[in-house]
Every structure is written in C-alpha cells, then in structure tokens.
Chain A
C-alpha cells in the first residue's frame, strides 16, 4: 500500500459549529418590543397627541411578481385631547412595492374597501364609513408615512376597542380590496407589537367609565 496517512483535523467541525452559532445570533437579533407611549403637545392648536412607539406593519406577499413585491398597510393608534374632548383614531397608511402599472397594466393597487383588526384571532370591525383624511386639531401626525405615495387615512376607534387591543396577545389585519375576498395579512416580524402601551395613555379617563366621548 503506497498511500500516506492523512492528517485529520478538527478545524472543519469548529467551522461548522461557529457557523451554527452565528446563525443563532443572527436570528436572535431584531427581536425588540416597544411598550411605551408618548404625548406631544401642540401649542398652536392646544391639542395633546398620544402616540405609541411605532406602527404595526402588515403585508401581503405577491412573490409571483417578485420575491419582494408586497402590499403594505401600517396602522398605529392615536389619541387626541383638545379642549376637554378626547378622540381616538387608527392611523392607516397603505402603500405597495408592487409596480402594477408596469407589470400588469393595472392602474393601481385595488382600493381597500374594508379593514378589520384580528385581535387574538377574532375580527374587530373598523368603521370605514367614518374614515377621514386628517384628524381635526392635529397639525402634525406623529407617524410618518413610509413613502410619499402612501394613502393615509384615519379610522375612529372606540375606548373599548383600545382596551381590547391593549390586552391582545396577537393582532393581525384582515383586508378587503375591491373585487377580492377579505384576506388576513401577515404582520411584519420586525414591527413592534407594544399594544400594552395603548391602554392607559390613550384612554386616561374613559376606561373607568367616567368621561364622555366626543
């Protein structure tokens, strides 16, 4: 036999284990939760705007077009107190990375005709008929639309809805677009849940049943 004994090394095993460790580290990063809320006072209008850390982001994939082609909807609650009146809104920003005008000749993303929050798996209606393009008394919305072309609207929330959201373990979004069935969109994994922050700051007096709604 004219072969020579090959030196056996443990380096490949170490490399494999290091790779696995890096994988774990990479996967663990980005798991943050924001459980705070902030209040901003507008001296011109005299309104106090309560916001949470950031919007919940929901999306629907369309990998048939491209792996990153998605429609997005950002939602975030908003509390407004002005002159003793309090109101609560859900800020909604609708946008897309699907260039429908190019890919299919469709003019734009189909209009969203209904939105519903799925709170712990159960549908919570949002009043689309009362949607508004702006909130009275609020000059500066504390949430930024992700792109300039995003369609922004505000839907009224009731105190009880805020309360329910504040105790929710999971929230997703059911979306109905024109000509389509209502579908549940996925929540973007990086967007904070932070729903516990919704409760007291946005419903300071109502949860106990004292103050009247506007």
Chain B
C-alpha cells in the first residue's frame, strides 16, 4: 500500500519562481504518487481568538479520545475508522494553508491498517484544544485556543487564509489600532489625573468593536470615558458616562439619554474603573473637575499592590494585574509609578490590547526615560510594534485593508521502501512484495484583490521491485490535478481538472469542471460536468461523461442543511445513470441526523438510502446508529460488463440491444442492507471504550448473460470493541486494545490488536504493535492463525523532515483438510517525509 502525502503550505513572494518551477515539474511529469488520501481537506479559520481546524476525511471516523489536560504542543487524537477504508494503510501529512492562525505546524494521519488510526497535530507553541466530531463522522473540528501573550512565529504569521475559509476576524485594523493608540497617547500624555466622586454607577451608553473616538460632552460633574474589555480575545470599547452615587441617579440620566442611546443600560463598576477613568481621561472632557489629585496610598500599600499585580501577571490574571497597577498609578505615590506603568502595559499586552499596551509603554518612556527599566520597556515596545507591522492574519476586514496579492506555494514529498514477505507453505507458497512508493503533493495559489487562483497536483508512483510473474508492476496514479479560479465580487468559483466530489450526484473522481455561484450566504448553485475516473491510474476517458446540477441551502427552514441534485451520465452514447437525490442534515443540541438518498429514475431503482444518527445522553455515553441500503455495485449501465468478454459497452452493443444491456446491469447489481449500532464512553480518567456492532446482508444476483449467480449472503455480523488508554506510561502516550469478530457465513475471524504510541522525546516516538488473527474458512475446512508483532520508530530530524522505520514479523499456523503448515515472514518499511 502506498503512503500518500498531502501537504499544503505557503511561501513568501520571493519563492514564486521556485514554487512555479516545482509545480510545473509535477504538472508535466507526474512521476510520483500513492493511495487515495484519507484526509480530504483541512480548513483553518479563526474567529474571536479561537482557531478552528476543520478536517474532513474520505470515510467515516469516530473520535475515540482527543484530549490533553494542559497546554501542549502536540495533540494526538485516536480514531476508529469505519466503512471500507478501515483496511487501508495510510500515512499522510499536511501543512494546511492558514495554519498559522491556529499556531499549527503540521497535521499527520496515520494508520497501519485495520480500524485504528491516529491524527496528530503539532503546534509551534503550547495551546489548549478541544476536539469536536461532526455528526456525519466524516469530519472533526479541533478548536485551538492560543494563550494570550505568546507571539506568533514570524514566518507562520505571513500565511494567508485559504480560499474559501471563513474570514478571520482578528483585532482592529492597523489604521484603527493607530487611531486608538493615538487617542490613548493623547489621553494619557500630560493630562492631569482627575479625581472623581465616590459613586460607582455608570451609564453604559454604547458598546462597539471599533475604537470610539468621539466623546460626548458630559453633564456637569460627570465624565464620559471609554472603557475597554476583552472577550474571547477581541477587544470591546464601551462609551460610558459616570459616576453616579447610586442607581437612582444613574437611572434618571439614563432616561434622558435612552432615545439617543437606545441600547444603554446602567451598571455598577469596580472602583478601579473609576480610578482609571479619572487618571486617563483628559480634563477637557470633564465639565466639572473634582478637587484632589488621586487616591491616597502609603508607599507600603503601593508596594503591596504592585507585588499583587506581579503575582497576577504570573497567574495570567491580567485583568486583575491591570486593575492593581491602575490603582497604584491613580495614587499619590510617585515612587512606584514607573513599575506600575510597565506592569499595566504588560497586562494590556498579554490580553492582546496592543494599542493600549503601546500607549502605556510610550507613556513610561516619556515619564521615566532614564529609569533602569527604560531599555526593557523600549524593547517591549519595539517588539509590539514589529509584531503588529507583520502581515496580519486577516487579509480583509471590513474592506479597509488591501488584500495580499502574491503567489504562494507549498508541497511535500515522501518515499518509502516496503517489503512484505511471508511463506505460507504448501500450495500457497511464498508471497513476497516489495516496492518503492513515492508520493508528492504540490499546491500553488494566488490571492488577488478580486480573483483567487489555485492549483493542486497529487500524484503517486510505485516502483515494483517484487520481480517474477506475479509482480503487479509499476504504477503511476494521479489523484488531483486541477486549477481553481474564484471571483469574490460575484460569488463565482470554478475548479477545472481531475478532482473528487463525493456528493451532489457525483460518483467520486472525475476529469472536468465544478462551478458554483454563491447567491446568498445560505444559497449556492452548483454545476458539475466531466468524465468519471474510476481508477486514478486511468487517463481521461471521453466515452463516459456526465453533467449534474445541485443546490445547497444552509439552515433551510432554520433547521436543516439541504443539498438536492440531479445527475445524468452516459457511456458510449447510451444512458448510464439518470439520478436525483438529496442530502439533509439536522443538528440538535445533543443529537443529529443525516440522511441521503440517490434514486435512479431511469432504472426506477433506489441506488442508495442512508440515515445516520448520533445521540448523546447525559451519562456521557454517545450512541450512533446507521441504516444503509444500497445497490452493490452501484447501479449504472456500465456494470453490465461484469463477467462479459466485451471490454466496452460499444462492444456489448454488438451482442445485445440497449434494453438487454440495461437488464444485464440490473441483474449484476444486488441490494446490500446494513444496520450498525455503536457506542462510545469514558470509563475512567485514562480509559475510553467504544463498541460497534453491524449486521448486513446481500440479496445476491441472478445468473444472466453468461454471468454466474451470486448467492444470497445470508446474514453477516461484525463486532468490534476497543479500549483506549492515555498517558499510561508517559505523558502523551496512547494505547489501544482492540478485539474484533466477524461471521460472514463463509468464514469467521477473530482478532486482537495491541498498539502503543509512546513519545520517548520531542523528536522520537516509539510505536510497538501486536496483531493476532484467527480465521476459519468453511470452504476447504481451513483454519489460519497469524501473529504479527512489529515496532515502528518515528524520528523528526528537522522541523519539516521525518524519518520512519518499521519492522515486524509474521508467524503462525495453517491447517487445511488435516494438513498443517507454519507460515512465517517479515515486513520492513523505511522512508522519509519532507515538507516545504
């Protein structure tokens, strides 16, 4: 099995030439590549200081565990793979666009086959994160909270948002910051501290995400001021009028102002806010200046408050630190003013209030230019200004900022040599497979003022070194090779080339065009047309073509996300598929339901119907259930070729009429019905458990046209139980014990899996595994027992370069009709992965 690598990253404009040379080489050559990617897409967005990493998989995955109790630079999420991809080996890595928004270095997907998989996210600094699985189990969201005060990596900060990502709503724009900073500077520079009355009630006139520059004239004895607060990392500005001795006084003023400020309300504020208002507000905005120059504090009191403020900084209680520092500044004790000013700036900086922090630092340097902390504060100020001058995470905010307009490119390559040899003895003999698997993924994109352009190529190559007659041979596969063009002004976007769409009536990979028009945020119209590609090894086949239309409606009737589609496909000039269908998704607070159907009105057959529900009950158990009814193989006219000597429908038309061919197609497609139930639950602090039960049946197909009958399968059952432990030996390790059982009538199998991933050091991980499998095959009275121990080492040589070595052996017993043998063998996997 090849090991795909899918990487997307971004380079600076200076890297354009290199990026395009690389992209052109890949587009022209297609010399390398691998198996179908398990991670279909990764989208990073950031809103209100919280970054979301949305990961979409090719098939369904259940999150078993994904937690770390503290801040960490690595998130390892244990997954259980469902559906067909459960058998595939996969090792993938991606460095998605916009990853800097989440302080993300890269993301790796890893499965050595079977149902277990692990998703690993590496961050460039300690972050807090939570994992939110999607209801349809095809995606999960990693919500990343970056602690305030940690500065982003300069290279990563230059990363633009991916096309289509949610707009990153960060702090105020550069111009707004500058204006706020100037106002703060004006407000604090040289303005005498104003002592206000004892009242703590204020009228909050209005709140805004934008800095408030216009202060209304205050009534006599009152002061209008702007209070700032931070919620979810975003700054709010509140225009307030104070201070009133009690609610009654404030209420009376509120009544006179409510028409002008309809959203106003009265509240009581902490004393520190009043003191800060008195210290920071220029006297000009106070109609009547109260007497006095500040709060009387002794030197000891001031020192005590400063000590508390420093402790609050250490405890990351920046709000309290700012309050305490402000109290000292508002006092009549000058000796501690410098320290208090620096602490106040530091507290503002740590909460992300860059403008206020810069203003405090400048005030410090103006008031205390020769103090011992001046150099330190100057460095803080320089760092703050430098950080702000770097390209901002949000490229477009309220239309005020010009968009970055530069090419960017990224990619990754991997090469693995794998050898798998086992000698079964007897008639089966030795099976020896070896090959060099090379994978590459490149992407280039340009974001313009109006148009976005992108392209991507994902290719793999297998150099078969097995030798002999049974060797599968070399293989080159192209999974993606497309260009994107988007027009933001008109909501139009298009993708041209080899691509994959798994819904909207498309049957997967195709060569063609996918165009969309985003009419409103909730409504989108799509059209797809092209040539289906059933094997990525195939070149474009124009004998088979399709066109489809679909409509996406988000929050339809406020409760549903809906997609409806119609698709028409022909092969060799006759109808291959005429289909309509829909997908409906409903998400409740603790339950969800996703259902879809695909009806072929040409054949009058329901090609597929599926319903998937999730339900979480208060005792921390998550249940899921799935009902699936589908035609297998999927009903198209082309499946009439199954078991026919003809190689194409055109050839088959020489023997059969179109009607007879359609009947053959109907006869080749049986109905597969499955019901699955699953549950997942935590057992204790370190252990989680999940169980899945599936029952299915296949009703068989009749003999016709020379093709043999496929008998009814009878009932088939599958059971899987997994127990996952975390941090059992070292912090961050993940161990899985899996038990599986399957009874298909023709064979029964039982298996046990032990898998542990242990971080030995930040750059070295050890992954021992043991798989024991016993299978009874009814035809031939055969019993197999196979034990496969192995160990895998992952060593990160550099930030973007990783080496991997995996070795293991096979041994066991095989009894067939009273004869026994002892199969034995080994496997080796050695390779590297590099991202750039």
Contacts and interface: CB of A to CB of B under 8 A. Distances in A.
Interface of A: 1-6, 8-10, 12-13, 15-16, 19-20, 23-24, 26-28, 61-69, 97, 102-106, 114, 116, 118-120, 122-127, 129-130, 156, 158-161, 163-164, 174, 176, 178-179, 181-184, 188-190, 206, 209, 212-213
Contact of A129 (B238, B264, B270): B270
A12 B609 contact: yes
25 contacts: A3-B702, A12-B609, A13-B599, A19-B595, A23-B584, A27-B593, A62-B130, A63-B63, A66-B620, A68-B618, A68-B620, A68-B622, A69-B620, A102-B685, A105-B685, A106-B69, A114-B319, A122-B263, A158-B251, A164-B264, A179-B315, A181-B230, A182-B230, A189-B588, A190-B589
Interface stretch (B107-115, B676-684, B814-822): B676-684
Contacts of A5: 663
A116 B267 contact: no
Scoring A118, A159, A160, A189 by chain B CB atoms within 10 A of each residue's CB, the highest score goes to: A160
B559 interface: yes
A164 B233 contact: no
A213 B248 CA distance: 6
B586 A63 contact: no
Contacts of B646: none
B728 interface: no
B251 A213 contact: yes
Contact of B606 (A12, A102, A120, A190): A12
A163 B589 CA distance: 29
Given A1-B660, A123-B238, A159-B251, 15 more contacts: A1-B704, A12-B599, A19-B597, A23-B586, A24-B560, A27-B586, A28-B557, A62-B130, A63-B130, A65-B67, A65-B682, A106-B69, A125-B269, A184-B231, A206-B251
Nearest to B604: A8
A86 to B, nearest CB: 11
B590 interface: yes
B132 interface: yes
A-B CB proximity, top 4 nearest: A3-B704, A12-B606, A64-B67, A8-B604
B685 A61 contact: no
A207 B705 CA distance: 85
Contact of A181 (B49, B63, B248, B703): B49
A61 B132 contact: yes
B88 interface: no
A123 B228 CA distance: 11
Interface in B42-74: 48-50, 63, 65-69
A174 B231 contact: yes
B246 interface: yes
A209 B247 CA distance: 12
A181 B682 contact: no
A121 B203 CA distance: 18
B339 interface: no
B388 to A, nearest CB: 20
B170 to A, nearest CB: 15
B265 interface: yes
Interface string B231-251: 111001010000000111011
A67 B231 contact: no
Interface in B310-327: 315-317, 319
Interface of B: 48-50, 63, 65-69, 129-133, 145, 148, 203-204, 207, 229-233, 236, 238, 246-248, 250-252, 254-255, 258, 263-270, 315-317, 319, 557, 559-560, 582, 584, 586, 588-590, 593, 595, 597, 599, 603-606, 609, 611, 614, 616-622, 629, 656, 660, 663-664, 666-667, 680-682, 684-685, 702-705
Contact of B265 (A6, A20, A124, A179): A124
Nearest to B240: A125
Contacts of B617: 68
Nearest to A105: B685
B266 A158 contact: yes
A183 B230 CA distance: 10
A181 B148 contact: yes
A118 B133 CA distance: 27
A9 to B, nearest CB: 8
Nearest to A9: B604
Contacts of B132: 61, 63
A4 B705 CA distance: 10
Nearest to B65: A64
B129 A160 contact: no
A213 B560 CA distance: 46
A123 B236 contact: yes
B680 A27 contact: no
Nearest to B703: A2
A68 B704 contact: no
A74 B362 CA distance: 44
Contacts of A13: 597, 599, 606
A15 B617 CA distance: 28
B595 to A, nearest CB: 6
A160 B584 contact: no
Contacts of B588: 27, 189
Contacts of A125: 204, 267, 269
Contacts of B590: 68
A15 B599 CA distance: 11
